Structure 1
Amino acid sequence: MASYRKKLKQLGCPELSVNTSTHSRYAVVKKPHKAELNYLPPHPEGQTAESLEQICEELLGDVYIRDNLRVVNEKMATTFSIRRQEIVKESLAVDVLMLRWPALFHVTQIKEEFKRLTAVDLESTFIGNLDKVMANLLGLFHAKGGIAGYKIRETMKLLDQDHGVDIRREVVIRCLIVYLSENIEDLIEHYQDTTAVEDIAEHSLKIITRGGAPDGTPFDAEIVLDGIRVLGGLSSLMSPCISLFGLIYSLDLCYPKGLKYTFEFFQKVLLNLVQNCHQRFYH
C-alpha cells in the first residue's frame, strides 16, 4: 500500500499530494479523519479548473429556478472536485461558501454531498440504525445513575405520552448527549417564544428551535454556523441533527469539543463510518 500511495502521489492524486511535506504551502492541510472515501478527488476526466468554474457560475442562477433539482444535482456532482479543493485547501468561511455555493446549503444537496464524500445515504442510514439501537439505548438510559440519570429520566417522561416516532427519536438523541456526559445546550437552544430575538453571532455551531408548545405553537428549527443562519424552516429536531452532521462533512468542519462523543456516536454507530485503511480507495 505504501508503494501504491507513493505512485499515486507522483501521478498528482490531490488527496495525497496536498499533504506531502515537499509542498510547504499546503503542509497544514489536515488529512481525512472521519472516514471520507472521496476527501479530495481529482477533476472529472475531460474537465479543467476553467470549465468547472464556468459550471459553478451557471449554478448560481440554476439554484433559483423552480423544479430544477435534476440540473442542479448534475452540476453539483460535476463540480464536486473543485468545491472540495476550495473547502479543504482554502478553508473558505461559511459566509463566502454560501455566496459561492448556495445549493450546498439546501437539505437535498447536503444529503447528496455527504453521499459523494462517503458513499453512504445520510438520512436513511442515520434513522434506520437509530431505530435499530433504540431499545438497547433506552435500556442503558434506564440503568444510568447519579445526576445524569436524573436528567435522563426527566427527559424520558415524554415517552409516557404517545407523541409518535419522531418524538421518540428526539428523546433518545437528547438522552444520549447526557449519557455521554455532554451538554444538550451546547447543541440545541430552545426558545418557547417564537418572536424572541437572539444574538446568533455568538454561536459557532448550534441548532436553534422555537415553539412546539401544547397550545399549538408550530415547531421550527434552524442551523447556525459561525454566527450565520445557514438553514431554516425545519419542522422536527431530527432533520436539523441530520443536516448539521452532513454540513460538518460537506464543509470539512471539526466536531465541537464539547460534543465530540455525540458526533462520534453518530459517525461510527449510526452511520458505520470508521476510519480504516481497508475502507479507503482512490480513483
Structure 2
Amino acid sequence: MCVYGFMFQINAEFKRVTTMPLQSKFISQIDLHSASLLRVFEKRSGQQGQKLRDMAAMMTDDIDAGREAIIKALCIYLNEDPEDLVQEYMDLTDANTLGAIEGTTVGIYVIRETPNSEVSDVGVIIEGQVALQDLETVALAAAMLFGLFYTLNMSYPSKLRYTFEVIQKLIMELDAAELSGKAQSLN
C-alpha cells in the first residue's frame, strides 16, 4: 500500500474514534501553542534551559523546522531524550543505519544527505520496521505516530510517555481530565 493510502487510513480511523481530524488538528495545534511553549521553555535554567535555548535557536523562517524544534524541545522540557523520538541518519541503506532501525521500538527517522542539508526522507519506525516513509516533515510523522498509538490503543513507550501524554492531552485536547505532574507544568 502506498504511503498516502496508509496515512488516509490512519487519519480516517482517528476521525472515527475521536470525531476530529488528526493531521490538520495536530499541525494547527502545534502552531497555536508554539509561542506559549517557547515562553515556558525560556523560563528554564541550567543545562536543560541551555538545551531548550539551543533548540529554540534552530527555529528559522522554515515553519517545518520550527515545528520539529518545538516537538524536540517538548521532549527536552519533559526530561525525555528527543533522540528517542527523532533519529537522524545519512544513508538508509547503510548497515549501521539498518541495525539502528531494527533496534528501535518506535520512533521517527530523518534521512539527510549531509548533516545540515535538507531532509530527503522522513518516516515512522514501529517494532524495528519502517511503517511509513516518504513523509514530508517530522511534524507529520509525529502526528501519524501519535495517531497510530491512539487509534490502536497502544501504550506509549516508557521513554516518551510524557511527550505523548502532552501531545494527547494538551496539544490534541483528548482525555485531558487527569494530567501527570509534568504535563500539568505545561498546562
Shorter-normalised TM-score: what interval?
Answer: 0.7 to 0.9
Distance across 2 between alignment mates of 1:131 and 1:275: 19
Over 3 Å counting, the alpha-carbon distance change for 1:191 and 1:239 in structure 2 is: same
Residue pair 2:52, 2:77 contacting (<8 A) in 1 also = yes
Distance across 2 between alignment mates of 1:212 and 1:273: 37
2:78 aligned with 1:180: yes
Distance across 2 between alignment mates of 1:189 and 1:216: 15
Aligned partner of 1:203 among 97, 101, 104: 104
Aligned partner of 1:118 among 13, 18, 31: 18
Deviation at 1:212, TM superposition (A): 6.1
Residue pair 1:219, 1:236 contacting (<8 A) in 2 also = no
Larger proportion of strand? 2
Q: Which deviations, in whole Å up to 9, do the C-alpha atoms of 1:217-239 show, x marking residues without a partner?
A: 54311111111111111121111
Aligned to 1:155: 55
Aligned length in residues: 173
Aligned partner of 1:252 among 129, 143, 153: 153
Distance across 2 between alignment mates of 1:275 and 1:214: 38
Helix, strand or coil: the match of 2:79?
A: coil
- Identity across the alignment (%): 34
Deviation at 1:213, TM superposition (A): 4.3
Distance across 2 between alignment mates of 1:208 and 1:121: 24
Higher relative contact order (CA 8 A, sep 6+): 2
2:146 aligned with 1:230: no
Distance across 2 between alignment mates of 1:179 and 1:206: 18
Structure 2 regions of 5+ residues with no counterpart? 178-187
Deviation at 1:216, TM superposition (A): 4.9
Aligned to 1:191: 89
Helix, strand or coil: the match of 1:219?
A: strand
Aligned partner of 1:136 among 30, 36, 40: 36
Aligned partner of 1:240 among 121, 125, 141: 141
- Rg comparison, structure with higher value: 1
Helix, strand or coil: the match of 1:209?
A: strand
Q: What pairs up with 1:4-23 in 2 under 5 angstroms? A: none
Q: Which moved more, 1:124-133 or 1:208-217?
A: 208-217
Give the aligned CA root-mean-square deviation in angstroms: 2.2
Distance across 1 between alignment mates of 2:80 and 2:164: 11
2:166 aligned with 1:265: yes
Residue pair 1:192, 1:212 contacting (<8 A) in 2 also = yes
Distance across 1 between alignment mates of 2:17 and 2:87: 29
Over 3 Å counting, the alpha-carbon distance change for 1:217 and 1:130 in structure 2 is: closer
Q: TM-score, normalised by structure 1?
A: 0.56
Deviation at 1:139, TM superposition (A): 0.6
Q: Which deviations, in whole Å up to 9, do the C-alpha atoms of 1:82-137 show, x marking residues without a partner?
A: xxxxxxxxxxxxxxxxxxxxx6xx11111111111111111111122222211111
Q: TM-score, normalised by structure 2?
A: 0.83
